[in-house]
Structure 1
Amino acid sequence: MKIISLSIILLFFIGGWSVISPGEAADYPHVTESGFTTLPASTRAMGMGGSFVAVADDYGASTFNPAGLVQLTQKEVGAMYSDLYGLGLLAYNFLFWVVPPTIMGAGGISWAHLSSNLEPERWDYDMFSYSYGQFISPSKSSSRTTISSWGVNLKYLKQTSPWGESSGYSMDLAYFMRKEKVSCGINVQDLVSVRQWSTGRRESIPMNVKIGTAYRFSPYLLLALDADISGKDLLKDARLGGEWWITPIFALRGGMSTLFQKDSFLTLCGGIGFDFPLEDLRKKGGVKFDYAFAYNQALGNTHQFSLSLRF
């Protein structure tokens, strides 16, 4: 029963399984469209319905839009955890380290791990990423309210399953622009990719394009809209969300997302954030804690947590 439940979830989560018949290619079923490489890792973004491509001003930029890393003002290190759909079958972990821009640009490294434990069978997916962002035209003002930038993700992928192992690489290319209250972004995910299976089979990962725009009513209130586009589905999904910092240390978030497929469904999201300031003799920093909740009638509820240190 667990295997059936997991298969249903993966059908939605990964975006489609392609099962090779016993007489083809390697005599085992395998995933030909890996949603894992495009799976976002940001609790803050999840609370906003996943609309973050044009926000991208913290560690979440490393998966949503690496060009947004130029907005960082401090180093940030931390971790995220999620039990996807609350069934105890899919555990998603993310570790990250990002640094603000210098003359050489902004950057970060991260490790994402997705595992499903259905003893005696187990699936493991790992993605090691290097993210980089650089200004195209920085603002003349120190506040950097008007910027444009480009970014790239270089990803190494590894997958282990009962039917075989694979490894490979993938690259994302991104753009970000912000002018006063309005910003926009685009991230072409898996622009170049290749994956080699232990059976000798080679394949590429289908490209996915994330686009988004955001409007900041004030430094404390913003609204964002995202969409995903792929060659298979012209409009794959849409996401709408917002964030309101009620006080300097507490934020409320809300949003929704919908998939434009044959069996489309709506996901409602919400979240909270705490930013506790810390100060030493040299500079200010802080500890951030974020929580997000996603409700989906078809798949179940997902809780996500993250903790990070800025310095």
Structure 2
Amino acid sequence: VAVSQDQIFVGTRPLGMGGAFIAVADDGNTITWNPAGLPRLRRKEFTSSYADLYAMNITHSYAGVVWPFGDRIAIGVDWSNIGFDDQELNYSENKLNFSLGYQPFKMLSLGGTFKYLSRDMGLDGTSY
């Protein structure tokens, strides 16, 4: 078992808010930022992004979807990838989140996430 910090955060609005989005958590990006906000979403939401970072062939891809079930429970799934690929080296880091949010009372929401992380690196056609 390995513990990894998320290197790349997602969502233009959360990043523009300087991390204060954790308190708001009212769109599809809440899967990554604060899963306790999932029950606040009243409709299905899909969010995605793609970026070629630093114009150096380093790419970041993201996709997430949220499904609310009634007024008190919602689930979210998202996938994120950051990778680099050239003729000699390729590197890929994938993250898959399964999130659940539950609102037992009007002023209390709970949430949690199961996270699957994987890394793959290859050098001259070999993989580690």
**Counterparts in 2 of 1:103 and 1:56: CA distance versus 1, 3 Å:** closer
Query: Which residue, 31, 37, 41 being the options, matches 2:10?
Result: 41
**Counterparts in 2 of 1:73 and 1:103: CA distance versus 1, 3 Å:** closer
Name 1:73's counterpart in structure 2. Answer: 42
- 1:282-297 counterparts in 2 under 5 A? none
- 1:187-266 counterparts in 2 under 5 A? none
Question: Share of identical aligned residues, percent?
Answer: 30
- 1:104·1:134 contact (CA, 8 Å) conserved in 2? yes
- 1:79-118 counterparts in 2 under 5 A? 79-84=48-53, 86-102=54-70, 105-118=73-86
Query: Which residue, 75, 83, 92 being the options, matches 1:124?
Result: 92
Name 2:115's counterpart in structure 1. Answer: 155
Name 1:289's counterpart in structure 2. Answer: none
Question: 1:69, 1:152 → 2: CA distance?
Answer: 10
- 1:115·1:122 contact (CA, 8 Å) conserved in 2? yes
Question: 1:95, 1:125 → 2: CA distance?
Answer: 15
Name 1:63's counterpart in structure 2. Answer: 32
Deviation at 1:67, TM superposition (A): 0.4
Name 1:136's counterpart in structure 2. Answer: 104
- 1:69·1:101 contact (CA, 8 Å) conserved in 2? no
Q: Deviations over 1:106-165 (max 9, x none)?
A: 111111111012431011011111111001312xxxxxxxx2111011111111013764
Question: 2:63, 2:49 → 1: CA distance?
Answer: 7
Runs of 5+ unmatched residues, structure 2:
none
**Counterparts in 2 of 1:132 and 1:50: CA distance versus 1, 3 Å:** same
Name 1:221's counterpart in structure 2. Answer: none
Paired residues, number: 124
**Counterparts in 2 of 1:76 and 1:103: CA distance versus 1, 3 Å:** closer
**Counterparts in 2 of 1:51 and 1:88: CA distance versus 1, 3 Å:** farther
Specify the SS of the correspondent of 2:22: coil
Name 1:304's counterpart in structure 2. Answer: none
Name 1:13's counterpart in structure 2. Answer: none
Question: 1:91, 1:51 → 2: CA distance?
Answer: 26
- 1:101·1:134 contact (CA, 8 Å) conserved in 2? no
Deviation at 1:79, TM superposition (A): 1.3
Calculate the TM-score normalised by the size of structure 1.
Answer: 0.37
Deviation at 1:56, TM superposition (A): 0.7
- 1:43·1:80 contact (CA, 8 Å) conserved in 2? no
Calculate the TM-score normalised by the size of structure 2.
Answer: 0.83
State the structure with more CA Rg. Answer: 1
Which one-letter code corresponds to 1:88 in the other structure?
M
Question: 1:83, 1:34 → 2: CA distance?
Answer: 23
Higher-strand-fraction structure: 1
